[in-house]
Chain A
């Protein structure tokens, strides 16, 4: 319990630090939201109009006052309003976050299915033809940047074969089938690199566990290969796989930006990039805060998963 409370305290402190650093960083870099908003299309706004907008947006108040106002809002769960169009940030994140989580979730699912199964098969037949071909493909999957995979996928599947739309988003509630089709390409694109990572980690973990004493003992006991693989090898080999997957998922929370951009998937990363470009301060702080909370939570979940997969963690 004490461990849990201490850990929770550290997590809260971490989140506050992130919010403060982001707030200060975005204020320190040059660029002014009012000026930018009124300079769209290369226009020169009247400085008096810019000042009026700065007043309306509260940007003329001292930075410390703005910071305290922002933090007080965060404590109340109020992330403020967009400086672009006055939309509530919390509402916007609530709309966008599930889309990014869905994208990451779908990519993770594809990666686990592809990476773990092929990684296990490659390890079982290490040195064989499948292992060599799969290892080479995994190398390729890791080497090709995600935007190249995405662009090629659009070129082949949307422009040439015309099997799927080039990109975009339709809410699931509006059109479930179209929603899933539009999810397919961005999720598949992320999954190319992630599957390759999963493949490599699974392959080496399975190979390592296969040499352990308890596997030899199980063989000596005359257990079937299938039973040894599922009960003894895979169960132990999955611990590093879960760790690597969790680390990658955490990175993907703010790192799906290229895929979201290439496929026009309106997720959280895209919102963050737009907010930084437009110097939409409340949106930047809000999105980074939510991502950091998720990251901290994800790490906690991984610890719990360790305990589930490895009884030594649970009891020790």
Chain B
């Protein structure tokens, strides 16, 4: 028997604690092969809470994808697939019917149509803090003709209902299991076993999960590693099997390691928002000039170590029906055109302004610095204001800025998600511009949400794209690569492409260590 160096040290340290050495040997190697093994995940943060329906960030979303299931989900190739609902269909202009499969919650009670109705009512409740509250307040009524059928009648035709129900913001939990400490019993592949607040969460396989042979892992341990370098080190040293948010600087190194595998996708993106109430950015020509002056390749290099792509239009994914190659490059750098626009606006001599970003996150800071340098070409003197993230969010929400850097990802590939960054009739938010109204834009977005015909929708979103390219209430900067890294023998886990990357933990139900 060979004793590893680490094992030797462990035994050495254990000598004063005789009796523990045997237990400790091999503890740091997290995975074991085959069915019934253990998986250790290194997450970029500890979830702020595990409350269902609330948007508490991607770490909480990953936990939801492990513990809960909703009516639908996103498959490994990004398509909407049935979960608690084995099938679904439209019912007239405003209706949707979901046919439930035989499934159980983790407390053993069956999943019935009444339970789904209860969940949807909780989300839409007037005092709910659910992320999808306003969306599901668009439900006129919910009918449960039998134990396995749910009929959802919306007030308006709404094409995005399946998308909403596939997100991890819409888990279905067992009624009556919501407690003060915000946990709830779900119907997902893993159930909560133990948690060490701020440190780790231990899950165990739910034997009654409705998919035969799943989950394959017996236990999943999720450990928070907020320091990105330590997260990578933990993977390289074998402490964990899978990490999220792979730092861009470490991607090459991981690719060269034959024991590891990197899975990346272009999903999230960086962009600029403007305050159009006063100042130079009230003029669309100035905003467009800014859009045309940015060297987006520099942002990709500076902020993402080359792991990204220029975003020269709206964040519509290539390969989807709504992608248009010409419009996608509508803001390709053209300094002469940018200067002409500024001259037209009477600002050929340039001006001075302040760009809001945050020093708390490198990608926000680096992006702002590139924008600052690029706008110097237009004689625009940009001062950087980079407070901590909390302050930056507050200033953005109050509209106390001139223009700002932000980063986000769409919640699904459906273009309706553009509304969150474009709809000028929505409440003020740091994620969209302030005080800029583009005539017709909001109406087009509402029209797109209610239109089921793909061809007609394509025409609607082409108009949206044209309006945005002209008026620039939003200026795309760069796609960024979103990566997971894992041991080479981890099978069955997929980084779901595009903005759906954050839902990838759903695929862990079918993952195992070879």
Q: Which chain A residues have a beta carbon within 8 Å of chain B's beta carbons?
A: 29-32, 35-49, 52-53, 56, 84-87, 92, 95-96, 151, 154-155, 158-159, 161-169, 171, 175-178, 180-181, 184, 261-264, 266, 270-271, 274, 277-279
Q: In the complex, which residues of chain B have a beta carbon less than 8 angstroms from the beta carbon of A162?
A: 4-6, 237-238
Instruction: Name the one of A36, A44, A163 contacting B9, with C-beta atoms under 8 angstroms.
Output: A163
Instruction: Assess whether B389 is in contact with A277, with CB atoms less than 8 Å apart.
Output: yes
B85 at the interface (CB under 8 A from A): no
In whole angstroms, what is the CA distance A47 to B234 when docked? 40
Give chain A residues whose Cβ lies under 8 Å from the Cβ of B54. Answer: 37-38
Question: Could you tell me which residues of chain B, from 59 to 103, have a CB within 8 Å of some CB in chain A?
Answer: 60-61
Chain B residue with minimal CB distance to A181? B13
| Chain A residue with Cβ nearest B127 | A52
Q: Closest CB of chain A to B61's CB: distance in Å?
A: 7
Q: Is B56 an interface residue (CB 8 A)?
A: yes
Contact A178–B10 (Cβ < 8 Å) = yes
Shortest distance between the CB of A86 and any CB in chain B (Å): 6
Interface assignment of B131: CB less than 8 Å from any CB of chain A: yes
Q: B430 to chain A: which residues have CB within 8 Å?
A: 39, 44
**Cross-chain contact A169 with B199 (CB below 8 angstroms):** yes
Asked if B325 lies at the interface with its beta carbon under 8 angstroms from chain A, I say no
Assess whether B224 is interfacial by the CB under 8 Å rule. yes
Complex contact A168–B239 (CB within 8 A): yes
Contact between A52 and B234 (Cβ–Cβ < 8 Å)?
no
| B494 interfacial by beta-carbon distance below 8 Å | no
A164: contacting residue among B9, B230, B394, B408, CB under 8 A: B9
Stretch with Cβ within 8 A of A (4 or more), from B15-23, B153-161, B286-294: B15-23
* Minimal beta-carbon separation of A177 from chain B (angstroms): 4
Please report the C-alpha to C-alpha distance between residue A164 and residue B58 in the assembled complex, in whole angstroms: 29
Residue of A nearest to B61 (CB): A41
Q: Are B13 and A180 in contact (CB-based, < 8 A)?
A: yes
Besides the contacts A44-B426, A86-B181, A278-B48, what 11 more A-B pairs have beta carbons closer than 8 Å? Answer: A39-B430, A40-B60, A44-B427, A47-B428, A96-B198, A158-B237, A162-B238, A165-B237, A166-B233, A171-B196, A270-B198
18 pairs, CB–CB < 8 Å, chain A vs chain B: A31-B390, A39-B393, A41-B58, A42-B407, A44-B432, A45-B55, A85-B182, A85-B197, A96-B198, A165-B28, A166-B230, A168-B223, A168-B225, A169-B196, A177-B13, A178-B27, A264-B230, A279-B390
Residues of chain B within 8 A of A154, CB atoms compared: 229-230, 233
Measured between beta carbons, the chain A residues less than 8 angstroms from B182 are 85-86
A263 CA / B447 CA spacing, docked (Å): 51
Q: Are B406 and A40 in contact (CB under 8 A)?
A: no
B14 at the interface (CB under 8 A from A): yes
B131 touches A38 (CB 8 A): yes
* Residue pair A35, B394 in contact (C-beta under 8 Å): yes
What residue of chain B has the Cβ atom nearest to residue A36's Cβ?
B390
Measured in the bound complex, the distance between the Cα atoms of B268 and A271 in whole Å is: 29
B321 neighbours in A (Cβ, 8 Å): none
Q: Determine whether the beta carbon of B394 is less than 8 Å from that of A32.
A: yes
In the complex the two chains form, what is the Cα distance from A108 to B168 in whole Å? 46
Q: Is the CB of B233 within 8 A of A161?
A: no
Q: A30-B395, A44-B430, A46-B134 are in contact. Are A278 and B390 (CB under 8 A)?
A: yes
Contact partner of A166 among B61, B199, B234, CB < 8 A? B234
| A177 CA / B58 CA spacing, docked (Å) | 33
